[in-house]
């Protein structure tokens, strides 16, 4: 330990709580900590800040006062490579009444965007960003069953990212959000060639829409190519483009989309606007 750094036991003594309570604070992202030689250490300044903000923190978690900063807590666990702690934050948010849909839209997605911006700014190494993405994908895997909706299907939707676009996490998140609304989803993931997009759409029964997710600006040309190929080969299917690289609706339409979705809710709203006859499972 260096000057100003405390063990979990020393932190517990300062806060007047049990050692395991401090450990829980760390694993839920409530209290910043780093691991050195197999032991967690907490900086004195973070303990002071935590102690000063405790009334506000407790009020937020109990439903009063400010909303608990779940996204910040999750981001800290993702950056630390703490998969178990990251799931603990998600579980705590769900227990506090955050809907699974909002876990994706207001907790996980903002945390991932922030981490991506930190990497782009050179604040973190790409290994940290990749590790965080891996943990996030496992979180999505555990949350996925919560988005399965029983009953009649409303039709099918094909989702994917264009050739060269390796960001598959936004596609996985969108796939669950669309499933929650009663649609069958064919999730193609990232780096999908134009021909494969077309093949998936033409061979998927009852397909009504295809979503093209583009995160990196260098892949906008590929997104436009995918949209063009789909319009030529799958007329009558709604081609939607969205993602962080798409500036606004006008930009998406310039790329050749039939419609543009700013986020998952926007995409499902577009689907809701379609007049589709329901199909048997």
What does 136-188 look like in DSSP terms, one character per residue? HHHHHHHHGGGG---S-B--EEEEE-BTT----HHHHHHHHHHHHTT-EEEE-
| Predicted model pTM | 0.76
> What residues pair up with 212 in beta bridges, in sequence order?
160, 241
- Give pLDDT tens digits along the chain (281 positions): 556 788 888 888 888 888 888 887 887 777 888 877 778 888 888 888 877 765 444 444 444 434 458 999 999 999 999 998 899 999 988 988 889 999 999 999 999 999 999 999 999 999 999 999 999 999 999 999 999 888 888 999 999 999 999 999 999 999 999 999 999 999 999 999 999 999 999 999 999 999 999 999 999 999 999 999 999 998 889 999 999 999 999 999 999 999 999 899 999 999 988 754 444 34
Domain 151-272 has CATH 3.40.50.2020: no
CATH of region 1-67, choose from 3.30.830.10, 1.10.1660.10, 2.60.40.680, 3.60.21.10: 1.10.1660.10
| Packed helices 126-143 and 109-120: angle between N→C axes, nearest 10 degrees | 170
**Does 69-147 match 151-272 in CATH topology?**
no
Domain 69-147 has CATH 3.10.20.30: no
- Ramachandran sector of residue 16 (left: φ over 0; alpha: ψ -120 to 50; beta: rest): left
Annotated domain spans of the chain = 1-67, 69-147, 151-272
C-alpha to C-alpha distance for 211 and 268, rounded to whole angstroms:
11
């Amino acid at each position: 330990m260096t000057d100003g750094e405390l063990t979990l036991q020393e932190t517990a003594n300062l806060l007047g709580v049990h050692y395991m309570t401090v450990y829980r604070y760390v694993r839920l992202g409530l209290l910043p900590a780093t691991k050195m030689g197999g032991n967690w250490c907490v900086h004195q300044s973070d303990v002071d800040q935590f102690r000063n903000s405790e009334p506000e923190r407790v009020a937020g978690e109990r439903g009063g006062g400010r909303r608990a900063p779940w996204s910040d807590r999750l981001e800290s666990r993702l950056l630390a490579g703490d998969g178990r702690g990251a799931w603990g934050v998600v579980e705590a948010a769900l227990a506090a009444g955050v809907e699974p849909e909002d876990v994706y839209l207001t907790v996980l997605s903002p945390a991932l965007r922030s981490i991506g911006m930190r990497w782009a700014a050179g604040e973190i190494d790409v290994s940290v960003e990749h590790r965080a993405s891996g943990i996030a994908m496992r979180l999505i895997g555990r949350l996925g069953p919560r988005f399965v909706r029983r009953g009649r299907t409303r039709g099918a939707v094909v989702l994917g990212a264009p050739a060269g676009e390796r960001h598959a996490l936004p596609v996985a998140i969108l796939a669950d959000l669309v499933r929650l609304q009663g649609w069958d989803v064919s999730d193609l993931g990232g780096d999908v060639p134009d021909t494969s997009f077309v093949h998936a759409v033409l061979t998927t029964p009852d397909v009504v829409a295809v979503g093209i997710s583009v995160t990196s600006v260098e892949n906008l040309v590929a997104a436009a190519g995918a949209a063009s190929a789909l319009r030529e080969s799958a007329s009558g299917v709604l081609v939607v483009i969205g993602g962080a690289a798409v500036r606004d609706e006008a930009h998406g339409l310039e790329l050749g989309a039939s419609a543009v979705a700013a986020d998952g809710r926007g995409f499902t709203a577009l689907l809701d606007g379609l007049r589709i006859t329901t199909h048997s499972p």
